[in-house]
C-alpha cells in the first residue's frame, strides 16, 4: 500500500493511501488522499514490526475520536461539519 503508516501492528491498523469510497470500507485502516498519507508517513514514527512474543514497538501515538453513523448521511457532505472545531478530551489538554 502506498504511504503505509502503521499505528497498531498487533491489530493491523494503519493510515495509507487508497480509494475513498465515501464510507467506512475496511477492517480498520484509515484511507487517505495521497498527499495526506504521504504527510503521515513522513511525519510519524511507525510502530515496530511484531516480535516473536507478539509485542510491538511503540510509535507515534494516534488518537481517533468519534464514531460513524452508518444509517446517516456522511457528515462531510455538510458545510457545518467542516466548520465545527474538534474537541479534545480534558485528559489530553492537561498533560
Task: Please give the share of the chain, as a percent, with pLDDT higher than 90.
Answer: 7
Residue 8 has a pLDDT of 74
Q: Which of 74, 58, 64 is nearest to 29 (CA)?
A: 64
Alpha-carbon span 48 to 14, nearest angstrom: 12
pLDDT in tens, 44-85: 876 665 555 555 566 777 777 777 788 888 888 889 988 988
Domain coverage including residue 35: 5-93
Domain count, the chain: 1
pTM of the model: 0.61
pLDDT in tens, 19-29: 877 777 777 78
Residue 66 has a pLDDT of 75
Q: Which helix (H) or strand (E) holds 70?
A: none
Amino acid at each position: 500500500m502506498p504511504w503505509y503508516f502503521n499505528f497498531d501492528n498487533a491489530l493491523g491498523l494503519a493510515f495509507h493511501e487508497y480509494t475513498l469510497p465515501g464510507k467506512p470500507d475496511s477492517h480498520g485502516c484509515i484511507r487517505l488522499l495521497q498527499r495526506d498519507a504521504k504527510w503521515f508517513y513522513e511525519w510519524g514514527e511507525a510502530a515496530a514490526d511484531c516480535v516473536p512474543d507478539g509485542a510491538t514497538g511503540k510509535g507515534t501515538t494516534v488518537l481517533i475520536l468519534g464514531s460513524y453513523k452508518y444509517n446517516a448521511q456522511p457528515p462531510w457532505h455538510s458545510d457545518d461539519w467542516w466548520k465545527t472545531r474538534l474537541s479534545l478530551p480534558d485528559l489530553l489538554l492537561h498533560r
